A and B are shown apart, each in its own frame.
Chain A
Amino acid sequence: MATLYTDRINKDFIGHKALDDISINIPEGNIYGLLGPNGAGKTTLIRIITQIIMADSGVVYIDNRPITPRDIERIGYLPEERGLYKKMKVADQLLYLARLKGISRNDAVDRIRTWLKKLELDEWANKNVQDLSKGMQQKIQFISTIIANPEIIILDEPFSGFDPINADTIKDEILKLRENGATIIFSTHRMESVEELCDNIALINKSKKILEGSKVEIKNSFKSNTYYVEHKGDLVDMPKEFQLIKSEVNGEQIAKSEIMISDGTVGNDLLKYLVNSVQVVAFIEKIPTMNEIFINAVTQERHE
């Protein structure tokens, strides 16, 4: 189990500010989504956490103390731009990468066998990487990231290049890793996977952190008190605390409406009113999707 947080990280690339005072807090045993548009600085932040590059100022803390080069062996990193030695055998390659992480040869051999079996790649162990399909190579890459049982796993766009079945397999493995206590940082701009997997998120835009917190809280804070209602019958002369935003009727005469309630009223008030006026088919509170929050936050920044 490991906790990780960064304190006011700054990084300047020759004339361009890549990270501006970034402080994020990653609770242990969490899946933490690092979100942001392309070029926001996510990869730079990850590279600083993995000690590939050094921050100009600011500190990365692991277990409440500054990170040291030795901690690198506790971190597994799957970069967005991935690659393997094409002319090396699958098992040899995994062994090499595991040993670079400080795993003994015997341990590594056992784990490689287990993982290849688990991901149905055992027949390919003695094939060169270049003979494998893209999807298989991605799986090998995933194994190489976690082969050393890292306490902190950093995954940069882990699902790119996977078909839906393999993506599901990997997703299940990620969830299992969390159950086993790993802290997972997950960088992506695919919001549906954030929706499914993340416990906490941070949103980075233009080198600055603009949002951080638990996914549920953030979603709630972006609620607009709007309800989605399907109903039969017309909504006429609604009280002024309920505002009809839009309404449309489809073929079966079921109307789909969005209604915003004013402060001081709750969803039940609206439901009571509706039950008395129309035949309610569906009643759902409209919670913003991560996608909406993301687009909202980023475009708002752009306008400022």
Chain B
Amino acid sequence: MNKIGLILSREYLVRVRKKSFIIMTFIGPILFGGITIVPIWLSKEAIEERVVYIKDDSGLFKGKFKDSDNTRYVFTEANLEEAKENVDRHVTPNLLYIPAIDIDQPKGVAFFSNSNPSFSLVNDLKNVLRDVIEEIKLDRSGLDKQVIENLKVSLDISTINLREGKETESNVGVATVVGYLGAFMTYFFIFYYGTQILRGVIEEKTNRIIEVIVSSVKPFQLMMGKILGIGFVGLTQFVLWVILTAAVSSGIFYAFGITKSDPGNQINQTMDIQDAEAIAAANSKSSEMFQAILSQDYTLIVFAFAFYFLGGFFLYGSLFAAVGSAIDHESDAQQFMLPITIPLIFSIIALTAVLNEPNGSLAFWLSVIPFTSPVVMMMRIPFEVPLWELLLSMVSLLAGFIFTTWIAGRIYRIGILIYGTKVNYKTLAKWFFVKS
């Protein structure tokens, strides 16, 4: 065991001191921070007050445009050419031109701007125009306004999770985002660090240091030390990312004057991007959303990530080590890597189906089978998984990696000492059955 520790610490220290690790450690959180911050920042930009000049030749819309927090509507009497010139000279940056339209066929409405108008602004304008025209048409049809009002339905379903005796307001949107993030991170980490195992094994083989090492330790100890060492590098990276991402995000939040004590504001803007309809949502609804984000059990998610990353990494990593031991060059790895990684890739593809029914039988089986469980379970956790399923999945992952490590160890002990042989699946099977 002591020797595994020595190998582990070498593998760990060599990688943690590498420039690429340090760069990744700092760039990761900036990227993640950026992903969460940029949309907020963008919507904050949009909050600057803008003025829309309206040249209404039809005369139907006077007083119909209501000023909002950040948009003011001004009717202009200038003729169209003048007004357009003003846009060009930045005097009036936005101009909505409504010609004298035929309400049965409203055509020729145009929006002039010296920059690309935002999607939400155009949407707002369209909504007002449509409403007004609809209203006029309804008026003409002679239907009672009251009847029409009564026909309109306003419906909103709040989803409330009754499990474990307490009512937690769950939000499918938040759970989806958190789930996807966890699943992709697991996938990425398994792949990224799994490949490092492959490289490390091939390096030792091509360096020919392997024979020196295995004259001091058992091949299995070397393999385990390497896998554990690299696994801890991954874990270190993850922990640093969590800390730094939190720091970067809160730093930027602070810089933009969005603080946690002002959840309404923060959420309002997040929703800008998520859902155009929701822009109109009231502040009370925003804080519900904020509650939903907070209601996720992040301790569980971080713990689960650590477990499923390490479990999945050991499972696939040991197979990668076996592949690395069998070949002489990284370029030969492809034929063996593909079949190994198919379940991993499949679990990413299956995420959409899992998302449709996070507690359905497909989701259940994929999160119990150890080859797909690391990715799929991370998707399911934000949707609250029964404890027994979580435990079953963890036990099965443990069993899975013990099994693959055993197989890999048997191939590895032979493979690392064999050079220049064309290896196929038949030879791998022969190595596996060689007695020790």
Contacts and interface: CB of A to CB of B under 8 A. Distances in A.
Interface in B381-436: 417, 419, 430, 435-436
B213 interface: yes
B211 interface: yes
A75 B419 CA distance: 24
Contacts of A53: 417
B362 interface: no
B6 A100 contact: yes
B209 A84 contact: yes
Contacts of A69: 218
Given A84-B207, A100-B6, A77 B215 contact: yes
Interface in A11-57: 14, 47, 50-54
Nearest to B221: A100
Given A14-B430, A88-B14, A83 B207 contact: yes
Interface string A71-107: 0110101110111111110000000110111000000
A83 B203 CA distance: 10
Nearest to B210: A83
A21 to B, nearest CB: 19
B131 to A, nearest CB: 69
Contact of B6 (A77, A81, A84, A96): A96
* Interface size of A as a range: 20 to 34
Contact of B208 (A54, A79, A87): A79
A206 B164 CA distance: 74
A277 to B, nearest CB: 60
A100 B216 contact: yes
Contact of B214 (A52, A78, A86): A52
Contacts of B10: 96
Name the prevailing secondary structure of the A interface residues: loop
Interface in A182-216: none
B42 interface: no
Interface in A131-189: 141, 144
A100 B209 contact: no
A81 B436 contact: no
A77 B209 contact: no
A82 B212 contact: yes
A14 B217 CA distance: 25
A63 B214 CA distance: 23
Contacts of B206: 83
A52 B208 contact: no
- Residue of B211, B417, B430 contacting most chain A CB atoms (<10 Å): B211
A129 to B, nearest CB: 10
B334 to A, nearest CB: 25
A83 B215 contact: no
B430 A87 contact: no
Nearest to A97: B212
B419 to A, nearest CB: 8
Given A14-B430, A84-B209, A85-B207, A52 B6 contact: no
A278 B207 CA distance: 63
A54 B436 contact: yes
B3 interface: yes
B212 A83 contact: yes
A130 B7 CA distance: 21
Nearest to A43: B211
Contacts of B212: 77-79, 82-83, 97, 141, 144
Contacts of A47: 417
Contacts of A141: 212
A87 to B, nearest CB: 7
Nearest to B414: A53
A106 to B, nearest CB: 15
Contacts of A144: 212
Interface in B353-380: none
Nearest to A77: B215
Given A53-B417, A81-B208, A83-B208, A72 B14 contact: no
A81 B114 CA distance: 71
Contacts of A52: 211, 214-215, 417
A62 to B, nearest CB: 15
B207 A99 contact: no
- Residue of A52, A54, A69 contacting most chain B CB atoms (<10 Å): A52
B406 to A, nearest CB: 18
A122 to B, nearest CB: 22
A99 B215 contact: no
- Residue of B14, B215, B417 contacting most chain A CB atoms (<10 Å): B215
A245 to B, nearest CB: 46
A141 B215 CA distance: 14
A79 B6 contact: no
- Residue of A78, A82, A96, A100 contacting most chain B CB atoms (<10 Å): A100
B162 to A, nearest CB: 57
A84 B430 CA distance: 30
A14 B429 CA distance: 12
A76 to B, nearest CB: 8
Contact of B215 (A72, A84, A87, A88): A72
B209 A83 contact: yes
A86 B207 contact: yes
A100 B216 CA distance: 6
Contacts of B419: 81
A255 B370 CA distance: 86
A14 B423 CA distance: 14
A100 B217 contact: yes
B413 to A, nearest CB: 9
Nearest to A87: B14
Given A54-B436, A81-B208, A88-B14, A101 B214 contact: no
A50 B208 contact: no
Interface string B310-343: 0000000000000000000000000000000000
12 contacts: A50-B215, A51-B215, A82-B211, A83-B206, A86-B207, A96-B10, A97-B212, A97-B216, A100-B7, A100-B213, A100-B217, A141-B212
- Top 7 closest A-B pairs, CB basis? A83-B208, A83-B207, A100-B216, A79-B211, A77-B215, A83-B209, A81-B208
Given A77-B212, A82-B211, A96-B6, 4 more contacts: A50-B215, A73-B216, A83-B206, A97-B213
